[in-house]
A and B are shown apart, each in its own frame.
Chain A
Amino acid sequence: MKNILERNNVNIIGKGEKVMLFAHGFGCDQHVWTYLVDEFSSDYKLVLFDYVGAGKSEISAYDSKKYGKLEGYAQDILDVCEALGLKDVIFIGHSVSSMIGLLAANKEPSYFEKLIFIGPSPRYVNDEGYVGGFERENLEQLFEMMDSNYLGWSRTLAPAIMGNPEKPELGEALTNNFCATDPKIASEFARVTFLSDNRSDLSKLQVPSLTLQCSNDIIAPLEVGYYMKQNTPGNSLVIMEATGHCPHMSAPEETIQAIKSFI
């Protein structure tokens, strides 16, 4: 049990009985919840964690095969719940964590009471009769950017030129140390996230859920919010005034209000 808590850098904050479990989105770690933590910590027990490969998790536990599917990340959530003996939690997932939470709830519904999705998308790539918002080539551009930016531009080519791509100089002070992750893991996570298709999993959800949809979110356009609502049993959709993909950071007040009225 201790291993899981260390592996996923689990932090427990707050005075309440009721548990809120926060799952960060792709590319960041539990720090993104700062504004929400301040608000809810007086009434709830807040469980924060980093996925394996992100933040201060144990990078050594990363396994390309296991985490080559969102199910692998869903298992992280189930592991944390099991390790802490959690039941009936309120799950809050941002971005790709919405689908990860949904997969976890489909597997072990008893762990969850409610699910809150912030900017969810069951599929990012457009398909016949489905608007995801992106074409495959857009994502290729992103992957290329990811590969060339994760550690700052100057360090991207250096390992390739030195013929040692497996060991970038992680000891160096990173240009952007917030959300710093192993570049290989980040690049794999990006592919898992943006190439996944979880549309068929939506109908299996037995737990009540809330979709927080920003009014102008390029990552998850409005059409996706409506698709979520239509295809997920027991889903409520709230279209927020906030714009962008990270309302919990850019518009914490509105986000908190929407969460409060749902729970």
Chain B
Amino acid sequence: MKGQVNKELLESLIDVEELYQDAPCGYVSFLPDGTIIKINRTLLHWLGYSEEEVVHEKNFIDFITKGGVIYYEMFYLSLLKMQGQVSEINFEIVRKDGSSFPALVNSRVLKGRSGEQKAINATIFDITDRKKYERELLLATRLAEAEKKRFEFLADLIPEIIWTATAEGDFDYVNQRFCDYFNASNTDLEGEFLISKVHQDDRVKCLRTWVLCIKRGCDFQVQVRLQSLSGDFQWHMLRAVPYKDSEGVITKWFGSCTDIDEHVIALQRKDEFINIASHELKTPITSLKAYNQLLKRIDDKDKARDFLDRSAATLSNLHFLVSSLLDVAQINSGQLTVNLGSISLTKVLRHSIDLIKLNYSSHSIVEEFDSEEEIFVRADNQRLTQVMINLLSNAIKYSPQAEKIILRLTRNEPSALVKIEVVDFGLGIPDEKLDSVFEKYYRVSDTKNNNRVAGLGLGLYIIQSIVKLHGSRINVKSEVNKGSTFYFTLPVTERGLN
């Protein structure tokens, strides 16, 4: 059938005049001075004018806003002159009733033989809808931008590291805390930079888990050591959850990174402590077993009594260890209590010294206080004795080369306090460790003498807790190889007052 369509039919299909008049766009022709000489029905309809009102009566600039006229005079005409045509310039077109609509204007110059401008043909497209959609789109974009800013503002506020990654796992946002921690800018998001901050031993584990989670779309969680600004490595918990769109497709990962260094270190200490405690408990039990076996075989009464004494001492040692553990458990659960009353400090000190002398004969205890004058303080008798015995025995244990320790009392009259000091002349404690001696599980390490000073590392922690319950606090001054002074104060009370 090709090529057989009636030519006449084809020609009759197109009525040029009708196309011009009723086109979906406006057509207008004007002279170089702007006088309108032809205009189509569509544009007349848009403008609200009749043909008679416009042709030879109106100028093109009558149809544009005054701001538009400046543009027209300054640029549009120059452009037409230089280019012969100007396309897609957005003018506000003013209707007869003064209202206006946005339009795109395309113009072409009709030139005479010598190149002079004869007339200008302009096409006008109403873009009201387009402008509306553009505005909506812009508004939506701004809204999204504002939401993003809000998220970032919140994320920066959080003292934790917050990050996001694309569905493919590439980091695309980090908050201020991240930048502060690594001294990075928030554009330092390359994988290489990030992985360089993970401890060498944790890198493979970290990457493998991350890749696996991205593949499977499951929650990501891994403990790694991260290198901070100062160069130290600290334990962190890296976490991320996939964010899914309404169709369940992962579009983003939201991640956090929590500093769990203290937590991890505390756990490690606890493990270490259980080790030590088991060892400490096993030693006396082994001794007791040995005494038991020996006692079975021994007939000599005197010898048997000797072993019984020794096993009694071992038992009391064991009792002490278990009490310590119970004390710690009580402190941890907040159940350690003291029974405060007006008691004789002098008596407590005397009693403590006597007990110490029974166990230790290596050191003399220099008493720098008047044992005749009784001083009363507000304290728990039993617990204060525990504190004093602990301080005195520590002083002896940590000064193996010395021959004496000092127990000193100083009255501070105006504030009605008495200061109790225990001075030794032993190993001393380095400055940087002074703060940690009162921590739970802390043991003064002594590699040279291979744990010559053993123990659970609980003593000072317990007695500090006790003294704190008295409203006071044990302090320490120390100089390495010269010795240490542990001291605390208690309030003096009237004799016998309760």
Contacts and interface: CB of A to CB of B under 8 A. Distances in A.
- Do A and B interact with each other, yes or no? yes
Interface of A: 25-28, 31-32, 95, 134-135, 137-146, 148-149, 152-154, 157, 160-161, 163, 175-176, 178-179, 194, 217-219, 243-246, 249-250
Interface in B33-50: 33
A244 B80 CA distance: 14
A176 B83 contact: yes
Contact of A176 (B86, B92, B134): B86
Contacts of A25: 74
B143 interface: no
Interface residues of B, number: 33
Closest 4 CB pairs of A and B: A141-B67, A142-B67, A138-B66, A245-B73
A219 B138 contact: no
A240 to B, nearest CB: 14
A254 to B, nearest CB: 15
B73 A152 contact: no
Contact of B78 (A139, A140, A194, A246): A246
A51 to B, nearest CB: 15
Residue of B77, B87, B134 with most partner-chain A CB within 10 A: B134
A176 B87 contact: yes
B74 A31 contact: no
Contacts of A217: 73
A135 B65 CA distance: 12
B354 interface: no
A175 B145 CA distance: 29
B65 A141 contact: yes
Contacts of A250: 32, 77, 81
13 contacts: A26-B74, A27-B75, A31-B82, A134-B66, A141-B92, A142-B71, A145-B90, A146-B71, A149-B90, A153-B104, A153-B127, A179-B79, A249-B77
B69 interface: yes
A28 to B, nearest CB: 6
Nearest to A35: B81
B248 to A, nearest CB: 27
A112 B390 CA distance: 101
Nearest to B90: A153
A27 B74 contact: yes
Nearest to A152: B88
B78 A179 contact: yes
Interface in B11-64: 32-33, 61
Nearest to B32: A250
B364 interface: no
A99 B89 CA distance: 29
Contacts of B90: 145, 148-149, 153
B68 interface: yes
Nearest to A193: B74
Given A141-B92, A153-B88, A175-B88, A243 B33 contact: yes
B73 A219 contact: yes
B489 to A, nearest CB: 66
A246 B89 contact: no
Contacts of A31: 82
Interface of B: 32-33, 61, 65-71, 73-75, 77-79, 81-83, 86-92, 104, 127, 134, 137-138, 141, 145
Contacts of A154: 88
Contacts of B86: 176
Contacts, number: 104
A67 B27 CA distance: 41
B89 A149 contact: yes
A219 B81 contact: no
A22 to B, nearest CB: 15
A176 B77 CA distance: 13
Contacts of A139: 67, 70
Given A28-B78, A175-B88, A149 B83 contact: no
Contacts of A152: 87-88
Nearest to B73: A245
Nearest to A138: B66
A145 B74 contact: no
B66 to A, nearest CB: 4
A112 to B, nearest CB: 25
B71 A145 contact: yes
A154 B89 CA distance: 10
Nearest to B145: A163
A160 B61 CA distance: 30
B67 A145 contact: yes
B83 A178 contact: yes
B78 A157 contact: no
A217 to B, nearest CB: 8
Contacts of A146: 71
Contact of A249 (B66, B78, B127): B78
Nearest to B141: A161
Nearest to A143: B67
Given A25-B74, A141-B67, A145-B91, A161 B33 contact: no
Residue of A153, A179, A250 with most partner-chain B CB within 10 A: A153
A154 to B, nearest CB: 7
B71 A149 contact: yes
A157 B132 CA distance: 12
Given A27-B74, A179-B75, A249 B81 contact: yes
Contacts of A137: 67
A140 B67 contact: yes
Contacts of A179: 75, 78-79, 82
A194 B138 CA distance: 28
B87 A145 contact: no
Given A163-B141, A178-B83, A141 B74 contact: no
A142 B77 contact: no
Given A163-B145, A243-B33, A246-B78, A175 B70 contact: no
A219 B74 contact: yes
Contacts of A135: 66
A135 B66 CA distance: 9
Given A163-B145, A243-B33, A250-B77, A219 B70 contact: yes
A25 B70 CA distance: 13
A160 B137 CA distance: 10
A142 B70 contact: yes
A233 to B, nearest CB: 29
